Amino acid sequence: MAYLLKFLDIFRWKKHYGREWGIQKIFMDFIKERMNRIMSKVYIFFVDGFEDIEGLTVVDLMRRAGIDIETVSIRESREITTSHGIEMKTDRVFKETDFSDADMLVLPGGMPGTKYLGEYQPLCDLLRDFYERGGKVAAICAAPTVLASLGFLEGRNATAYPSCMKGLAGAKPSLESVVIDGNVTTSRGLGTAIDFALSLIGQLLGDEKADEIAESVVYSRK
């Protein structure tokens, strides 16, 4: 990292004195993108009964964008069964993970997964501390109710799965596919999972990268 910063200093010096080549901007853009990727760390939390598409769409698209996203089981084991009976393994288990490098924490929806997420006190404590320090938190489908229960949505615009809207205590309900209010992002459900994931990519790497990923999967952003 140090030598990259040194290069940046050299190029800034050249720009200051008017000696700038076309390749400089290309190099600067490349380094900026790479540094953003290095600095972007996301954790998404899985438990039995989470909604497959809502969780894995975020993982898939973020990894296409080069973001370092890891799946975390809140159980003792990495083995998880989704709400549709698909068995999978997460990258990590909660109790063995250091979240100090996190830039964003994400909750997928689904039942009974959302219920289990909201009942897991270590996760709630992590979310509360991260949120209070200004960290970005995101949830989709039923999971915004977990954020509401922690007081994160008080006075904020937010959305959720239609039958869960009444659980957004203190929020200003929205019917938008994805709602960003400060450091909190919420979304409605499986049908908005791609928009949700692209929105999170845009927040971390910029809209240009989000548009690039959308085009690569033949998706038209709304």
In three-state secondary structure terms, 46 is strand
Tell me, what's the pLDDT at 33?
Answer: 55
In three-state secondary structure terms, 92 is strand
Q: Which CATH class is domain 40-137+188-216?
A: alpha beta
Q: Where are the domains of the chain?
A: 40-137+188-216
Tell me, what's the pLDDT at 22?
Answer: 59
Could you tell me how many residues make up the chain? Answer: 222
Tell me, what's the pLDDT at 209?
Answer: 97
Tokens describing residue 125: 């404590």
Burial (Cβ within 10 Å: 0-12, 13-18, ≥19) of residue 101: exposed
Q: Active-site residues: which are they?
A: 141
Tell me, what's the pLDDT at 13?
Answer: 45
Tell me, what's the pLDDT at 5?
Answer: 47
CA angle 40–41–42, rounded 5-degree value: 120
Tell me, what's the pLDDT at 221?
Answer: 83
Task: Name the stretches of the chain with pLDDT < 70.
Answer: 1-39
Tokens describing residue 157: 């615009």
Tell me, what's the pLDDT at 215?
Answer: 97
Residues 124 and 157 sit within 8 Å (Cβ to Cβ) = no
Tell me, what's the pLDDT at 133?
Answer: 96
Q: State pTM to two decimals.
A: 0.84
